[in-house]
Structure 1
Amino acid sequence: MEVIPLGVWGGYPKANSATSSFLVKENGFNLLIDCGSGVLASLQNYVSIQELDAVIITHYHHDHIADVGALYYAKLIQNQLSNETKTLPIYAHTKDSQFRAMQYEGHMEAKDLEEASKIGPFTISTTPTVHPVYCLALRLEVNGKSVVFTADTGWTERFISFAQKTDLLVSEANLYQQYEGKIAGHMSGRQAGMLAEKAKIKQLILTHLPHFGDVQDILEEAQKEYTGDAQIAKVGSMYTI
């Protein structure tokens, strides 16, 4: 399994970049995690539109769905150019009316994420996060290996068991330590590190980064809590599990 960051920012992308999103590859299957602003342009550095096999949307905030409309046009155009209709499944939760906007007849098919136990080669499980809107964290498993995506969330003890002994934890780290408890629905680097340590994970990468301050401080805060390998997610890097 290969995990490739496509964007690392929370809220909106910095210049020439994208909001937090990831491409997960396994045995020729290409899975996109979230599709916010700038993601579609970044994605095409690694796979073509028609090579994309499935999409997961963790929640409906704009920094996670902004490029879904652009993806529809990309599928429409590519299906027309190839003279075939390859329908792209998009998995998302049904607890919001925006679920219907994931459906584009003949090109994209909306599927209930919480009802999915398998997506391609991946066994998938979800758990609700602590966020102002309903949002799902993800655990993907294949061939005895696993990766957990916290998605957007504040601290919750439930994540310790959910992420237990995963090979790779992809954690949001939108806050510096001094902002803990002051901004709802997000974790600090320190809290991400604490989660990684308590869950005994093998590797931690930090994403959904803030637009101010020095993000290396977030990494240092995580490293004070977590004794393993912690990194800031880097666009284009390949994390092989």
Structure 2
Amino acid sequence: MTTTTVPALSVLGTCGAWPAAGRAASGLLVEADGFRVVLDLGYGTLPRLLAHCTADEVDAVVITHGHPDHCADLSALGRALTFGDTRAGDIPAGGTRAGGRRVGRTPLYCPDGVLERVQAMEPSEDLREVFDPHPLPGSHEVGPFRLDGLLLPHHVPHAGVRLTVSGLVLAYSGDAGPDRRLGELASGADLFVAGATLQGADRDPYLLSAAEAGRWAADTRAARLLLTHFWPGSERSRAVAEASAAYDGEVLAADEGMSLTL
């Protein structure tokens, strides 16, 4: 008999641009049925990830775009996989677990340019020896999850992420700006994780404000809204208040170490 666990999210990092003292940049860990998916690995997220699992217990990685506050620690994860106890060797991509650990290359879902940018940090080790890249935007079956990546506006190619598992939906805007496709991304989501980089009257076609995140959560009838990607030093309670003015559901400010169920 198969046991189905309630999907859970752990916050690895919450800062945009660079991590404030004691914090990390963007990163989330999502778990369901014993399968672990990491969404973004910005500065300082790997040590927090390793508090949950070993490097070779990560089943898949999703990177929304090639800015280092979302992908820098993919290099660190690659080094942990390369120089740790598990070697990819000649094992095929998507290999099975041995003793609870992944063997074979770790599936990596990302837009064009991400792997090349991270590879530039480590030219002596080929990241493709430990990661098996798959394109975003696009749709994929990832363990028990359905992954849908939607192209969203940003300064570089960027994919918003919609994960569906056991009839539950997590939507993640990443670092994208406002766009009609956010409606498709977050429609009916049980949890909408949205950037709240901007506050007050500031607007940018490539970034979301807290107020815009609230409006999108309301328009898409998301059940809950989790704000993240805060500018270092910004007042997070203000972001919650601005989002709550447009959305009457539960609004939370992401915090390093926070855990939620979907």
Q: Which one of the candidate residues 112, 117, 120 is aligned to 1:94?
A: 112
Does the CA contact (< 8 Å) of 2:112 and 2:157 recur in 1? no
- How many Å apart are 1:99 and its aligned residue? 6.9
Distance in 2 separating the partners of 1:126 and 1:210? 25
Structure 2 counterparts to residues 1-241 of structure 1, below 5 A? 1-80=7-86, 86-94=104-112, 98=116, 101=119, 104-181=127-204, 184-241=205-262
Unaligned residue ranges in structure 2 (runs of 5+): 1-6, 92-102, 121-125
Q: Give deviations 1:120-161, integer Å, cap 9, x for gaps.
A: 111111211121111000100011110000011111232123
Unaligned residue ranges in structure 1 (runs of 5+): none
**Partner AA of 1:63 in structure 2:** D
Distance in 1 separating the partners of 2:254 and 2:128? 35
Does the CA contact (< 8 Å) of 2:14 and 2:27 recur in 1? yes
Percent sequence identity over aligned pairs: 28
TM-score, length basis structure 1: 0.91
Distance in 2 separating the partners of 1:121 and 1:97? 25
- How many Å apart are 1:80 and its aligned residue? 4.8
Distance in 2 separating the partners of 1:97 and 1:69? 9
Q: Give deviations 1:25-70, integer Å, cap 9, x for gaps.
A: 0111011111111010111111111211110111001111111221
Does the CA contact (< 8 Å) of 2:16 and 2:229 recur in 1? yes
**Partner AA of 1:197 in structure 2:** A
Does the CA contact (< 8 Å) of 1:8 and 1:234 recur in 2? yes
- How many Å apart are 1:207 and its aligned residue? 0.4
Distance in 2 separating the partners of 1:47 and 1:96? 24
Does the CA contact (< 8 Å) of 1:176 and 1:189 recur in 2? yes
More helix by share: 1
Distance in 1 separating the partners of 2:53 and 2:224? 25
Measured on the aligned residues, the alpha-carbon RMSD in Å equals 2.2
Distance in 2 separating the partners of 1:212 and 1:12? 11
**Partner AA of 1:45 in structure 2:** A
**Partner AA of 2:49 in structure 1:** L
Q: How many residues align?
A: 239
Q: Give deviations 1:63-94, integer Å, cap 9, x for gaps.
A: 11111221111001223589995321211123
SS in 2 for 1:186: coil
- How many Å apart are 1:185 and its aligned residue? 1.2
